[in-house]
Amino acid sequence: MKKIITLLLTLILLAACKNGQKSEDKKNSSEIAESGLQKDTGAEINSDEIEIMPVSHATAVFKWGDAVFYTDPVGGPDAFKEKSEADFILITDIHGDHMNAETLKALEIGDKKIFVPKAVQEKLPEELQGNLIVINNGESINHLGFNIKAVPMYNLPQSRDAMHVKGRGNGYVLEKEGKRLYISGDTEDIPEMRNLKDIDVALISMNLPYTMPVEQAAEGVLAFKPKKVIPYHYRGKNGFEDIDKFKELVNEGNGSIEVELMDWYPEN
């Protein structure tokens, strides 16, 4: 009988300790939640996610891992005053909605690099030349852990008076740790876009008469099948293109492609 009583007391004590530990764990979890911290569960944190912050039209701030870069910065320094400083900059073309020397000078980027096609390099002032790295269609450069490849962007059909002639401007494919981002620049549904492989995130332009209509943009996206596509640069001569229709066309053609709609025109 004495042994039975001892066993029962031991079981009661163990149960009490267990309940106490549960209460303490619950309290700790509550404190962590209230503090805004995330408890380390040992799960791998994906540090290579691409955060995209539209500024306007073709201008954006990207945060990828611990690096920040800008695309086609225009709009003056006020457009970037609440944004993180860029580690590097990409410029796609010579037109004013992509290249603006006054904005570049006002950003005070020090010795940070600006990747440009040759046509852009030829139009920027002497004081910026030391920052410029010329990269033309088909060329690749490694920088700060990224592989940056310049890809064609142009109008169809090609002609001497086309607004975007082949070879002048760059789209870009950036790759880091196996993840791939495509920034189309001012292009139409060209073969070089359709032949892209393994794109995780794609920014696709669509505005008439400068690039392509939403139907053509959707057909191109369905050809190269990125995991996610984001329409940008969608203000044309007669207003905004129908990006909801673009999303509908892509999803009808391939439901596995995620279409994310962002506000690229906050002033409107």
Domain 50-259 in this protein, CATH class = alpha beta
Specify the pLDDT at position 4: 46
Specify the pLDDT at position 161: 75
DSSP 8-state assignment for residue 75: S
Quickly tell me which residue has 């600006």 as its tokens: 114
Specify the pLDDT at position 21: 41
Specify the pLDDT at position 27: 39
CB-CB neighbours of 201 under 10 Å:
22
Specify the pLDDT at position 44: 31
- Backbone phi, psi, residue 109, to 5°: -85, 0
Query: Which has the closest alpha carbon to 233: 253, 208, 206, 261?
Result: 206
Residue 54: is the preceding peptide bond cis (ω within 30°)?
no
Specify the pLDDT at position 159: 79
Query: Which has the closest alpha carbon to 104: 83, 118, 90, 119?
Result: 90
DSSP 8-state assignment for residue 130: G
Let me know if 63 is exposed, middle or buried by CB neighbors in 10 A (0-12, 13-18, 19+).
middle
CA 205/CA 59 separation, integer angstroms: 12
DSSP 8-state assignment for residue 196: -
Domain ranges of the chain: 1-38, 50-259
Q: What is the pLDDT along the chain (268 residues), one digit of tens a residue?
A: 444 444 444 444 444 444 444 344 333 333 323 333 332 322 333 334 899 999 999 999 999 999 999 999 999 999 998 899 999 999 999 998 999 999 999 998 999 999 999 999 999 999 999 999 999 999 999 999 999 999 999 999 887 778 899 999 999 999 999 999 999 999 999 999 999 999 999 999 999 999 999 999 999 999 999 999 999 999 999 999 999 999 999 999 999 999 999 999 987 6
Specify the pLDDT at position 13: 44
Specify the pLDDT at position 162: 82
